[in-house]
Structure 1
Amino acid sequence: MTPAFSSWSDFFAMGGYAFYVWLAVILTLIPLIGLVLHTVLFRRRLLAEIRQRQSRERRIRDAKSKKAASEAAGESV
């Protein structure tokens, strides 16, 4: 088995087609990196919104239970 390129400079030159090959590589990697970045940022934002909503629901539930407890204590006295 023989290597396709005899040196690193031959590899980067891609047999004279380096511009087209590396342009294709870059134009493939940029959208993939953008997609991964978008996914990570969207996930963080979504999790923050979920935490905020759960905190709000917990505060509402606590306020309702506190109100119900104070009404029950006021009626029994």
Structure 2
Amino acid sequence: MTTFWSMGGYAAYVWSAFGFTLLVLGGLVLASWRGAREREAELAAVRREVRGRTASSVRRPTLQRQTQD
């Protein structure tokens, strides 16, 4: 087991690479989680704003008929 943990003399490189990778992946998970929470809050605010509008204040596009001369 000691041979496994020493990694044939490369343990410092191997374990630091594993540690750095875990640190970066953890940071990405945290950043993604925070971003998702912010986007959900933003979406909820937009939904509240849209639901608060009255039907008369919503502008709907009108179709214009083209007449031929």
Question: Which TM-score applies when normalising by structure 1?
Answer: 0.60
Number of residue pairs the alignment of both structures matches: 57
Report percent identity of matched pairs: 38
1:59 maps onto 2:52 in alignment? yes
Which one scores higher on RCO, CA 8 angstroms, separation ≥ 6?
2
CA deviations over 1:15-48 (Å, ceiling 9, x no partner): 2221111011112221121112111110111011
Corresponding residue of 1:43: 36
Matches within 5 A, 1:1-77: 7=1, 9-61=2-54
The CA RMSD measured in Å over matched residues stands at 2.0
Aligned equivalents of 2:3 and 2:53: distance in 1? 67
Q: Which has the higher helix share?
A: 1
Q: After TM superposition, where is structure 1 displaced by more than 6 Å over at least 4 residues in a row?
A: none
The amino acid of 2:28's aligned partner reads L
The amino acid of 1:32's aligned partner reads L
- The runs of 5 or more residues in structure 1 that have no matched partner are 1-6, 65-77
Aligned equivalents of 1:32 and 1:57: distance in 2? 37
